[in-house]
A and B are shown apart, each in its own frame.
Chain A
Amino acid sequence: MSTTWRALGEIVVAAVQVIVTGVGGLVLVGLMRKVRARVEGRVGAPILQPLRDVRKLMRKERLRPQFATWIFPLAPVVFVATVSVAAVMAPLVTSRPALGSGADLFVIVYLLLLGSTILALAGLDAGTAFGGMGSSRAVTIGALAEPALLVTILALSISAHSSNFPSIIRATFVDPGVIISPARLFALAALLIVIVAESGRLPVDNPVTHLELTMIHEAMILEYTGPDLALVTLGEAMRLALLLGVFVNLILPWGIASSMSVPALALGVVVLSAKVVAVAVVLGFVEVFLAKVRLFRLPELLAGAFVLALLGVVSGVVAK
């Protein structure tokens, strides 16, 4: 295969992964709302509702708060851009994604961090009380989730001797026993808690709350309208899809495309969607039975995740 074709192939793969996370993420949000509605005995909005919402938002007017600076319009763009780059790098549909050699888990985490940080700054930009409140809470939770997250990465990469995400997945294929090793299971449990915290879902944050004082993420984006809000919504959805995709590929990587052929990619998309949908349905179901934890009880949750991750590291070292 010539270099040009290879480059073209990489671009196609990248585009497939970004589109899958983008569209898939929105559908995922709709699906989780649907599950919630059904569990509560309601019919609920159609699964494709978030797509409609985003389409409508793109057609609406943009408002800019009086005292806002260039950070305000820039933040949603950077937010979506960081998640997209992470989606390009992460082995979601294929185990050989574009830019895969640099797809360190550490890099992916910090890319997402860049997005949330600029959103936190944008929360302060309009000069309102709610924005500041939201970004203060969001960065606090982010700070507390960070140790659990990085130690989890440490635990995940012990068996593969690398924190490169595609390498971890390939190592799993070589030795499938790794998946049920205590190290991996503890790390995944910790990762799940962190994912819930990072994507602002119950019991950490309630994405459908209307009460400003209880908001975290929602308060930060209270000023966004129209296309900007559409981007933020899209970014959140992509982030959720990406994190869940990472999670399922760490549990069961089978089905991921290992070549760049069209059927393999198509199969990869289908299998990934099936796995993510399964996890999302379970999460959506469990969420109905969870109450939002008080903000100052969150350290307990995240410290628990941290201990789980530490257990993962210890188990990994013991099992050598």
Chain B
Amino acid sequence: MTSGGLLTCGALLGLAAALVGAALPRRKRVLVTAALVIATCVVESVAAIGVLATGHPAQWHSSQLLPMTGATLALTPLGAMFVVLVALVAVPATLYWIGYARHGMSARLTASSYALFVAALLTVPAAASVATFMFLWEIMALTSLALVLTDQSRRAAARSAGVWYGVITHIGAAFILAAFLILAAHSGGQSFAALESHARALAPGARAAVFLLALVGFGSKAGVVPFHVWLPKAHPEAPSPVSALMSGAMVALGVYGIVLFGDVLLGGGPVWWWLIVLALGAVSALFGSLHAANSTDLKRLLAYSTTDNMGLALLALGASGLFVATGHHRLGALSLVAALFILMSHAMFKGALFLAAGSVQVATGRRDLDELGGLLRRMPQTGALFLIGAASICALPPFNGFVGEWLLFQSLLHGVKLGSTPGDIAIPVAVAALALTAGLTIVAFVKAAGVGFLGRPRSPGAEAAIEVPRSMRAGTGLLGAMCVVAGVAPMAILPAAERAVRATLPDVGSTPLAHGVQLQLVGVRAVLAPTVLAASLVVAVLLVAFLRQALTRRRDVRVAEAWGCGRELVTARMQYTATSFAEPVQRVFDDVLRPVRDIDVSHVAESRYVLESMSYRSRVDDRIESALYTPVITTVRRWGQFARRLQPGSVHRYLAYGLVALVITLAVVAVLG
């Protein structure tokens, strides 16, 4: 079967899964739908891998499917990369869903939307015309919105999250549509090929407008500051397999959109575009990691760290555009490879982390780190997988996040001193942002893993936690294994990323990467041997452990109570909580975060010197939300109040409105005609 055929076949399978999800009785629904969804993923990724292996895009066109325009799918190597990325998250998430469905997410609408969501995620990167793209993009948005609202009957927070998500995602879609419309108006066609061939002839102003519109539209999907506000609301409220898909895969498609417009449709742009992307990336990375370090809700923390990782991807993307714009094509290609690898590894570890967080929520009923603790003993496998995910996201060797950051660092490093002023200034700043982000990410995830999974349980729920069903562990485990494999042997992924990049940036020339056992950047002196590094780490650990065992005289290990300065009662409440863990960081970045702190002290009636009770509250609000969105919302409300006055409830008045409108329209026609 041709790749195009496979592509269609996959899409049909997805539709079938959605229908099955809506039709079958509850008992079989989840299992059958899940099987079909996994089959969809497999078929689509086979098609994608075919494209990546041959380098020839897969085409498919139907003039019947969408009214008037028809549907066009064309899977380029770049799109294929993203299809694989989606499939990498979707298969484990679906596997996880089988076990998770016992705790909700098994309703007809949910199952069907889930299948449709995955199918849309898989086909968006293959869309090759404006209508097809917007159609699939909207399906993706609507189904994910339905999934965010799964628990809305039980939780008000889910409803509010749904509203935020729905509004922002649709405003974003409007921006994307506007960008497409400008392009399409000039090219006279709506297929991407037509857009691409005419875009170069566009006036610089129009090109810039298109790029900025697309940047806002796709940036809002990618959760880039200042459009990130929906992420920390929607991700925690969505069911965990959906959070994993949204955060690992859907958000990455936002970055795909920026690459699609910047590099493919518009074919690159001036330096200032990319400086904006770079700046957005740096700000998002810093803001996201800072808030992740200060969140106590586990899933909210993960959501903020998604903003942080997308910021890093944009940083790489911006650097890539910058290099290409200043004529350093190979370096540009290297940065784009870094961006793709960062997205890929983000999909893996963030998927694993969200799934593990979901398991924690299922097992304990809580998401607040201050009420968790000691879970590694109660849930050894989930805990270990969370630790792997945390190590990966902290970019520690030998996990996949490390390779991504190394690639990004190297491309930035060799970008200095190329002779362009903006580059020379932007790059050290980018390196500093990258480094601070890396540091804050470590704070966030040492906190998440240490407070959540180590120490002693802080609530009865955490104390009574039991390990989750096998399918959930399998889903998480699959992603955890990917983190390790991609970290130890990134050569398995990088050739694909490289092919995608070479298809995207036509002037690269020779390959930017050489790989065997070690990863070698061509043209610059930079070598990384991830496999050797991992192997030597393992050998060193074994050797040191052996030496400790061999040289120790006393082999017995005595279990003793934790040392609490001689106190006879050391309780779980004496441990550091997530809030106290983040307090130093909070204080250092006081001016940025502006935390709200209250202390209430009540005294005994007899004497001011004797305390009765004392309470301390500290809250870190999202300042961008309060500074940027609250005024807009208030204004909209005020207009809403005004509009209310127009609706007194009188039928006569409404009919009169209709008459007035008709008269005005006719008058306009009369005057203009």
Contacts and interface: CB of A to CB of B under 8 A. Distances in A.
Establish whether A and B are touching in the complex (CB under 8 Å): yes
Q: How large is the interface on B (under 10, 10 to 19, 20 to 34, 35 or more residues)?
A: 35 or more
A81 B544 contact: yes
B265 interface: no
Interface residues of A, number: 88
A66 B525 contact: no
B496 to A, nearest CB: 23
A257 to B, nearest CB: 21
A241 B605 CA distance: 60
Given A131-B576, A162-B525, 6 more contacts: A62-B554, A63-B557, A110-B397, A110-B405, A124-B455, A223-B562
Contact of B570 (A69, A128, A132, A167): A128
| Residue in A60, A125, A128, A320 whose Cβ sees the most chain B Cβ within 10 Å | A128
Nearest to A149: B435
Contacts of A76: 548
Contacts of B436: 143-144, 146-147
A320 B417 contact: yes
Contacts, number: 271
A272 B260 CA distance: 53
Given A64-B558, A128-B574, A162 B552 contact: no
15 contacts: A59-B553, A62-B554, A64-B558, A77-B548, A84-B544, A85-B536, A99-B532, A136-B447, A139-B443, A144-B439, A149-B435, A158-B416, A227-B552, A231-B544, A296-B588
Contacts of B558: 61-64
Given A62-B557, A136-B584, A107 B528 contact: yes
Interface in A151-178: 151, 153-154, 157-158, 160-164, 167
B428 interface: yes
A167 B524 CA distance: 12
Interface string B549-564: 0011110111111111
A190 B492 CA distance: 38
Contact of B540 (A64, A85, A125, A296): A85
A126 interface: yes
Interchain residue pairs A-B with the least CB separation, the first 10: A132-B576, A143-B439, A124-B450, A162-B525, A146-B439, A127-B455, A81-B540, A150-B435, A127-B456, A102-B529
A125 B442 contact: no
Contacts of A164: 525-527
A120 B446 contact: yes
Contact of A150 (B432, B440, B450): B432
A137 B293 CA distance: 13
Given A163-B413, A295-B584, A80 B431 contact: no
B396 interface: yes
A69 B381 CA distance: 13
A104 interface: yes
A126 B556 contact: no
B587 A102 contact: no
Nearest to A143: B439
A154 B431 contact: yes
Interface of B: 293, 373-374, 376-377, 383, 387, 391, 394-397, 402, 405-406, 409-410, 412-414, 416-417, 424, 428, 431-436, 438-440, 442-443, 446-447, 449-451, 454-456, 518, 524-529, 532-533, 536-537, 540-541, 543-545, 548, 551-554, 556-565, 570, 572, 574-576, 580-585, 587-588
Given A101-B527, A164-B527, A71 B570 contact: no
B525 A58 contact: no
A58 B434 CA distance: 40
A129 B518 contact: no
A199 B438 CA distance: 19
A88 interface: yes
A226 B554 CA distance: 9
Interface stretch (A25-33, A111-119, A273-281): A111-119
Contacts of A137: 584
B376 to A, nearest CB: 5
| Residue in B391, B414, B581, B584 whose Cβ sees the most chain A Cβ within 10 Å | B584
A113 B466 CA distance: 32
Contacts of A99: 529, 532-533, 536
A308 interface: no
Nearest to A154: B431
Interface stretch (A41-49, A284-292, A310-318): A310-318
B588 A140 contact: yes
Contact of B557 (A64, A114, A144, A147): A64
A150 B434 contact: yes
Contacts of A163: 409-410, 413, 526
Contacts of A21: none
B518 A124 contact: no
A317 B580 contact: no
B557 A317 contact: no
A117 B442 contact: yes
Interface of A: 58-71, 76-78, 80-82, 84-85, 88, 99, 101-102, 104, 106-107, 110-111, 113-114, 117, 120-121, 123-133, 135-137, 139-140, 142-147, 149-151, 153-154, 157-158, 160-164, 167, 212, 222-223, 226-228, 231, 295-296, 299, 306, 310, 313-314, 316-317, 320
Given A63-B558, A127-B456, A161 B414 contact: yes
Given A104-B528, A154-B431, A231-B544, A299 B588 contact: yes
A127 B575 contact: yes
B417 A158 contact: yes
Contact of A132 (B559, B564, B580): B580
Contacts of B563: 65, 126, 128, 130, 222-223
A149 B529 CA distance: 22
Contact of B572 (A59, A101, A127): A127
B468 to A, nearest CB: 18
B513 to A, nearest CB: 15
Given A121-B450, A137-B584, A163-B410, A129 B554 contact: no
A132 B438 contact: no
B580 A77 contact: no
A81 B541 contact: yes
Contact of B443 (A127, A143, A147): A143
Contacts of B540: 80-82, 84-85
Contacts of A66: 559-562
A150 B409 CA distance: 9
A122 B583 CA distance: 19
A135 B578 CA distance: 12
A142 B552 CA distance: 32
| Residue in B383, B431, B543 whose Cβ sees the most chain A Cβ within 10 Å | B431
Contacts of B432: 147, 150-151, 306, 310
A125 to B, nearest CB: 4
B541 to A, nearest CB: 4
B451 to A, nearest CB: 7
A107 B584 CA distance: 27
A296 B565 contact: no
B275 to A, nearest CB: 17
Given A65-B562, A99-B529, A124-B450, A132 B553 contact: no
B554 A60 contact: yes
A104 B527 contact: yes
A159 to B, nearest CB: 9
A90 to B, nearest CB: 13
A166 B541 CA distance: 25
B537 A85 contact: yes
A69 B435 contact: no
Contacts of B455: 67, 124-127, 132
Contact of B556 (A61, A133, A320): A61
A67 B410 contact: no
A104 B424 contact: no
Contacts of A77: 541, 544-545, 548
A227 B562 contact: no
| Residue in A80, A99, A102 whose Cβ sees the most chain B Cβ within 10 Å | A102
Nearest to B383: A69
Contacts of A128: 562-564, 570, 574-575
